């Protein structure tokens, strides 16, 4: 009987694993999201008790593009494709305290989800020494749609397209997502802190 139970358990686990693979991890992400929502009250109780018995008061001053900002959002957990953020009520982009792009808000709520930019797809701008070149980022690679440009002859910093929300200000503050050298993209993955900052989508943003 024990062998039958073990065999049945193994078959169930393998079935879930196969389903998760063929659904591109949507099953595991859904389970993770549900468990995160259920665990939120316990997490709040833990934080409350820690703060209640904490003797030292820590004040964190965050500056965004040179301006003071207080409404940071707490990172609850992280997986391969993104991060779970507490009380993420609006869509937009997420940055860290160094004004570096972390990702794009995919799901809002008491437990929101942010897709890391390096796991996303979006247009970029390559700032070469003599010109700006339009490209497209996908799966750790950058393609240049202009057939007259030879990628192997292009080098420069890579920025999120200035035509995307907040793209221009990130570019003006020199917040590159990597460097393009002779046809190769050298990615620059930012640090994910315990607290992040939301830049809300504004009117007209796609």
Q: What is the pLDDT of residue 206?
A: 41
Q: How many CB atoms lie within 10 A of CB 62?
A: 16
Confidence of residue 194 (pLDDT cuts 50, 70, 90): very high
Share of the chain above pLDDT 70, in %: 67
Instruction: Dig out the tokens for 164 from the structure.
Output: 């995307």
Inter-residue contact 179 to 142 (CB < 8 Å): no
CA distance 47 to 67: 28
> Residue 66: pLDDT above 60?
no
CA distance 133 to 121: 17
CA dihedral over 12, 14, 17, 18, signed as positive or negative: negative
Inter-residue contact 58 to 88 (CB < 8 Å): no
pTM for the whole thing?
0.71
């Amino acid at each position: 009987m024990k062998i039958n139970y073990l065999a049945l358990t193994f078959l169930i686990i393998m079935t879930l694993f196969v389903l998760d693979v063929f659904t591109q991890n949507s099953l595991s992400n859904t389970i993770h999201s549900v468990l995160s929502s259920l665990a939120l009250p316990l997490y709040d109780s833990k934080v409350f008790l820690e703060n209640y018995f904490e003797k030292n008061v820590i004040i964190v001053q965050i500056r965004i593009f040179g301006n003071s900002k207080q409404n940071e959002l707490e990172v609850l957990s992280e997986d391969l494709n993104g991060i779970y953020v507490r009380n993420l009520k609006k869509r937009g982009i997420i940055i860290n305290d160094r004004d570096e792009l972390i990702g794009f808000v995919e799901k809002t709520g008491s437990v929101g989800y942010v897709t890391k930019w390096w796991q996303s797809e979006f247009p970029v701008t390559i700032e070469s020494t003599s010109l700006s070149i339009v490209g497209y980022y996908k799966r750790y690679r950058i393609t240049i749609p202009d057939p007259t440009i030879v990628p192997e002859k292009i080098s420069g910093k890579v920025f999120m397209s200035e035509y995307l929300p907040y793209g221009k200000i990130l570019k003006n503050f020199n917040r590159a997502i990597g460097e393009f050298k002779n046809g190769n993209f050298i990615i620059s993955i930012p640090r994910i802190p315990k607290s992040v900052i939301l830049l809300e989508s504004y009117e007209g943003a796609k």
